Amino acid sequence: MRTQTRSALHSSPLSAGGCEIIHPPRDGGIRYRGLTPDQVQTVHFLPFDYEIEYVCRPDREIVGPKVRKCLPNGTWTEMGHASRCLRTCPKIHLSLENGQAVPRGMERVPVEGTWVEYHCNPGFRLVGSARSNCTKVGSWSFPKPICERESGSVCVGLWGEGPVGQGPWGGPGSVCGGLWGEGYVGQGPFGSPESMCGGL
Check: pTM over 0.85? Answer yes or no. Answer: no
Q: How far apart are CA 25 and CA 33, in angstroms?
A: 18
User: What span, in angstroms and rounded, lies between the C-alpha atoms of 9 and 195?
Assistant: 90
Q: Which fold has domain 6-86?
A: Complement Module; domain 1 (2.10.70)
Residue pair 55/67 in contact by the 8 Å Cβ criterion: no
Biggest alpha carbon distance in the chain? Answer: 99
In the chain, CATH 2.10.70.10 covers 6-86, 91-149
Give yes or no for a contact between 19 and 76, defined as CB atoms under 8 angstroms apart.
yes
- Check if the beta carbon of residue 46 is closer than 8 Å to that of residue 83: no
Q: Check: CB of residue 174 under 8 Å from CB of residue 164.
A: yes
pLDDT for the residue 39? 86
List, for residues 106-151, the tens digit of each pLDDT value. Answer: 988 999 999 999 999 999 999 999 999 999 999 999 999 999 999 7
pLDDT band, residue 9 (cuts 50/70/90): low
Beta bridge partners of 123: none
What does CATH list as the number for 91-149?
2.10.70.10
Share of the chain above pLDDT 70, in %: 68
Q: How buried is residue 136: exposed, middle or buried, by Cβ count under 10 Å (0-12/13-18/19+)?
A: exposed
CA distances from 137 to 4, 130, 133, 140 (A): 39, 21, 11, 9
